[in-house]
Amino acid sequence: MRILILIFSLIFGGSGIAKDFREYGFAMMTDSKCDNHEEAMKYLKKVVAYVEANAPNSTYVRCGKDLEGRQGCLVMTENYEAFEANQSFWETDEEWNRLMRLAWKECGIDEFGFGRKALTFE
């Protein structure tokens, strides 16, 4: 299902989005139950803007709901190593942690209380 969302985005998003996706060789998708998706999205949009502006490695992030109604985010980087370097950076970044904790609070989940699945493109 997650792959279908990605394919749908590539096909219907236009050639500009498809071109952007070619830069990325690694994708991480998260999913979680979220009690208050609309309020959490207010914070997640700020997280996305912050991540894309401040990540040590180029990162593309979008958040929303999957077809089952669970909240999730797609995080794409050049490769797995770039993703891990970004993750290490966020662990100590005060603003990222503040914004994420606000989103998690709205969702009613524990910190990092979400599932995730990775995909490496060939």
For the chain, 122 residues long, give each residue's pLDDT as a single digit of tens.
444 444 445 444 444 444 456 778 899 888 878 888 888 889 889 999 999 899 999 989 888 888 888 888 889 999 999 999 998 998 899 999 899 889 888 888 776 556 677 777 77
Q: Kindly report the CA angle at 60 between 56 and 64, in degrees rounded to 5?
A: 130
pLDDT of residue 113: 53
**Are 10 and 121 contacting, i.e. CB atoms less than 8 angstroms apart?**
no
- The residue to which tokens 């990325």 are assigned: 24
Segment holding 25, helix H or strand E? none
Residue 30, beta-bridge partner list: 73, 116
Q: How much is the pTM? A: 0.73
Task: Identify which of 100, 96, 122, 99 has the alpha carbon closest to the alpha carbon of residue 111.
Answer: 100
Non-local CB neighbours of 1 within 8 Å, separated by 6+ positions: 66, 67, 68
pLDDT of residue 95: 92
**Domain 23-120, what fold?**
Alpha-Beta Plaits (3.30.70)
In this structure, the strands spanning 71-77 and 115-120 are unpaired
pLDDT of residue 19: 40
